[in-house]
Amino acid sequence: MSEYQYYEFTAVDRPLTTREQAELRSLSTRADITATSFVNAYEWGNFKGDPDKLMERYFDAHLYLANWGTRQLMLRLPKHVLDPATVADYCVGDGAFAWTTGRHVIVRLNREDEDGTDEWDLDGHGLLASIIPVRAGLAAGDLRLLYMGWLRCVQSLELADDEPEPPVPAGLGTLDAPLTAIAEFLCMDRDLLTAAAAGSTQTAADEPTAAQLRTWVLQLPTRDKDAILTDLITGSDGHLRSRLQRRYRDAHPTDAATTKAPRTAGELLATAADLRAERERRDAEQREHDRARRERFAVAARQRHLDTLTVDQPNAWQQVSELISTKRPREYDTAVQLLVDLRDLGERDGNTTPFRQRLAELRTAHARKPSLLERLELAGLDA
Q: Give the pLDDT confidence of 66-116 residue by residue, as tens digits.
A: 999 999 999 999 999 999 999 999 999 999 999 999 999 999 999 998 666
Using alpha carbons, select from 354, 353, 342 the residue that is nearest to residue 315.
342
Give yes or no: residues 70 and 148 share one domain.
yes
Same domain, 136 and 178: yes
Q: Are residues 138 and 42 part of one domain?
A: yes
215 is a domain residue: no
Specify whether the CB–CB gap between 331 and 323 falls below 8 A: yes
User: What average pLDDT score do residues 109-133 get?
Assistant: 85
Give the number of C-alpha atoms closer than 13 A to the C-alpha of residue 206, restricted to the C-beta side: 4
* Residues 196, 86 share a domain: yes
Listed residue (274, 273, 272, 257) closest to 147, CA to CA: 257
Each residue of 317-327: pLDDT tens digit? 999 999 999 99
Q: For 341-374, b where at least 16 C-beta lie within 10 A, e where not — what string?
A: bbbbbbeeeeebeebeebbeebbeebeeeeebbe
In a domain, 98, yes or no: yes
| Pair (153, 84) in one structural domain | yes
Q: For residue 146, give Cα distances in angstroms to 90, 91, 138, 248, 380.
A: 6, 7, 8, 20, 65
Q: Same domain, yes or no, for 268 and 142?
A: yes
Q: Which residues, 6 or more positions from 192, have their beta carbon under 8 angstroms from its beta carbon?
A: 151, 154, 155, 268, 269, 272
Q: What is the largest CA-CA distance in the chain?
A: 109
Q: How far apart are CA 137 and CA 342, in angstroms?
A: 69
CA 306 to chain centre: 46
60 pLDDT above the threshold of 80: yes
The CA-CA-CA angle for residues 103, 108, 113, to 5°, reads 170
Structural domain total, the chain:
2
Specify the pLDDT at position 311.
85
Q: Does residue 241 form part of some domain? A: no
Q: Is residue 233 part of a domain?
A: no
Determine whether 70 is exposed, middle or buried from the number of CB atoms within 10 Å of its CB (0-12, 13-18, 19+): middle
Extended beta strands in the chain, E state: 5-10, 32-33, 37-42, 61-66, 71-78, 96-101, 104-111
Specify whether 53 is located in the same domain as 121: yes
Question: What are phi and psi for residue 220, nearest 5 degrees?
Answer: -70, 145
Percent of the chain with pLDDT over 90: 69
- Report the mean per-residue pLDDT for the chain: 89
The yes-or-no verdict on residue 258 having pLDDT over 50 is no
Band of pLDDT at residue 284, cut at 50, 70 and 90: very high
Is 265 found in the same domain as 175?
yes
Would you say 98 and 88 are in contact if contact means Cβ atoms under 8 Å apart?
yes
Q: How confident is the model at residue 248 (pLDDT cuts 50, 70, 90)?
A: confident
pLDDT value at 341 more than 90: yes
Q: Is 246 among the domain residues?
A: no
What pLDDT band is residue 257 in, cutting at 50, 70 and 90? very low
Q: Are 198 and 191 in contact (CB under 8 A)?
A: no
In a domain, 181, yes or no: yes
CB 305 within 8 A of CB 341: yes
Identify whether 85 is part of a domain: yes
Q: How confident is the model at residue 312 (pLDDT cuts 50, 70, 90)?
A: confident
Residue 120 domain-assigned? yes
As a whole number, mean pLDDT of residues 350-368 equals 91
SS3 72: strand
32 and 140 co-located in one domain: yes
Instruction: Verify that 265 and 371 share a domain, yes or no.
Output: no
Report how far residue 4's alpha carbon sits from residue 275's, in angstroms, rounded to the nearest whole number: 35
Domain of 347? 312-378
DSSP assignment of 102-119, as one string? TTEEEEEEEE--SS----
Residues 171 and 274 in one domain: yes
Residues 330 and 267 in one domain: no
Phi/psi of residue 77, nearest 5 degrees:
-140, 150
